[in-house]
Structure 1
Amino acid sequence: MMLKKRFLLLAFASVLAGCATTDANLSRDSVAAYRETVELGGRLTVNYQKDGQTETLTGKFNWNQTPAAVNVSLASPLGQTIATITVTPESATLTQGDRAPRVASDIDTLTAQTLGWSLPVSGLRDWLQGYATGADGQRFAASPAANTVTTADGWRLTYVSWQDASGAAKPMPKRIDVARVASATVEAMEIRIVIDPQG
C-alpha cells in the first residue's frame, strides 16, 4: 500500500513543473486566458502497468500556483493528507508525514530518485488550464470543438468536459484524460483529472 501511495504521489508530481506562455491569438471559443496565479482542487485516478497487471490509484488534490512556485497537497479518497509537493524553478520537494523531505533540482529528477525511473512530463501547470505544447511545437489551447492534442513529450490529452458546458465564452476544463503508450523507455499510463467547480 505504501508503494502505491508513493507511486500516486510521484505520478502526479511528475507533471507539476513547466513554464507556460500565453498566446494572444487564440480562437474565440478556446479556454480562458492563461493565469499565472491559480487555486483549484479535484480528484485524480492513475492507471499504470506493474508486472503485466493494471494497477489503479485514486486521490484528491489541492493546487496552488503562483509565478514563483506550485504547491500541491495530495490526499486519500477520504481526505487524509498523504503528502505535499512544492516545485520552484530551483528545486522540487516532496514531504510525507513525519519523514524527512526529499529534495531534487527538478521534478523529473525527484521522480527518478524515488521510483528509479523518470516520468518525463512537465505540463500539468498548463494542462489544468487547457493549454499544452503540441508534438509540432506549437502552443495548443483547448476548446469544446478542439479538445485533443498529443504533446511534444508523447502524452495524449483529451478535454472530456468543461466547467460551464452551457456556453461560457471562455470555458475552463472540468475533466481531462491523459494517456501515454508504452515504449522501450516508458511505461503505459492513464491519468484522469476531474477539477472541482470554481466558485
Structure 2
Amino acid sequence: MPNNIVQRLQTLALLLLMMLMGTLSACSLLPGDQQLQQQQLEQLQDWQLRGKLSVRTNSDSVTGYLTWEQQHQQYDLFITGPMGQGSSRLQGNPTEATLTLPDHDQPLTAPNAESLMAEYLGWYLPIEGIRYWVKGQPSPASKATSQFDDYGLLSNLQQNGWTIRFSRYQQHQGIWLPGLIKLKGYDYTLTLAINEWTLHD
C-alpha cells in the first residue's frame, strides 16, 4: 500500500478517535440519574441567584431585577426596578416576613411574604414553594405532578395551583440548575431568567 494512503488512513483513524473521545467527554458532562440529581438539590440549602423577573397579569406587566439569597429556612430577596417601586427588600422565614420599601419609614411585617407582596407591591411570589422550584425541584410540602426529561432534569411541574416549566439547565459545581423558569397560576404569569448562580454548600 502506498505511503500516502497509509498516512491518510492513519490521519483519518486519529480524527475518528478524537471525535469519539470528545463525544464521550461531552456525554460524561450530561446529567442522567434523576434520583441523584434530586438528592443533590435536596442537599443544596445555601445559595444565591441573580436574574431578571417579569410579572404579567391580565391588566399589567412589570419587570425588575432580583437577587435572592437562601440560607436554609431564611430568605433575603432584593428587588430593583419598576416591580419593586425602586428598590425593595423582602426577608423572612416560614413564620414571619419583613418587607422594606423606599417610600415607607419602617419595615412592614406579616406572618408570610405573599400577603405583604400582594398588598404593597400588587403581585407576589409563592416563596415557600418557589425556593424549591428555582432549583428544579418539587416542594416536599405538598403533592406534585412532575415530568422529567431524558437526562433526569425536571421539565414540567404542577403544584399548589401553579404550572411551572424549566429550561436552559447548566451545571454549577457539579449540580444542574435551571436558567429559565416560567410559572403560571392565580392569574399571574411569572418569568425568571437566571443570570448567575452562587452555591454556598
1:117-157 residue CA offsets vs partner (Å, 9 max, x unmatched)? 987663111011111249x8158586555400111x11001
Letter in 2 for 1:171: W
Q: 2:166 aligns with which of 159, 162, 170?
A: 159
Cα distance in 2 between the residues matched to 1:97 and 1:161: 34
Give the strand-richer structure, 1 or 2.
2
Aligned to 1:122: 128
Partner residue, 2:8: none
Structure 1 alignment gaps of length 5 or more = 1-24, 181-185
Q: Partners in 1 of 2:155 and 2:122 — Cα distance?
A: 33
> Among residues 19, 41, 55, which one is paired with 1:46 in the alignment?
55
**Partners of 1:85 and 1:119 in 2: CA distance:** 11
Identity over the aligned pairs, expressed in percent? 22
Q: 2:176 aligns to what?
A: 171
> Are 2:198 and 1:193 equivalent residues in the alignment?
no
Q: Matches of 1:175 and 1:117 in 2, distance apart? A: 20
Structure 1 residues 135-146: aligned runs within 5 Å: 137-138=143-144, 146=154
Name the Cα RMSD after superposition.
3.7
- In the aligned structure 2, how far is the partner of 1:177 from the partner of 1:31? 23
- TM-score between both structures, scaled by the size of structure 2: 0.65
- C-alpha displacement of 1:48: 0.7
CA distance in 2, matches of 1:73, 1:118: 14
- Distance in 1 between the 2:158 and 2:64 partners? 25
Q: Secondary structure at the match of 1:171?
A: strand
Which of these two proteins has the greater Rg computed from alpha carbons?
2
SS in 1 for 2:143: coil
CA contact (8 A) 1:32 1:170 kept: yes
Deviation at residue 197 of structure 1 after TM alignment: 3.3
Alpha carbons of structure 1 residues 172 and 121: separation in structure 2 relative to 1, 3 Å: closer
Looking at secondary structure, tell me which structure has more helix per residue.
2
- Mark the CA change 1:96 to 1:116 in structure 2 (over 3 Å): closer, same or farther: closer
Q: Give the TM-score of the pair, scaled to structure 1.
A: 0.65
Structure with the bigger RCO (C-alpha within 8 Å, sep 6+) is: 1
Does 2:117 correspond to 1:83? no
Which residue type is aligned with residue 59 of structure 1?
G
- Unmatched 5+ residue regions in structure 2? 1-32
Matching residue of 2:71: 66
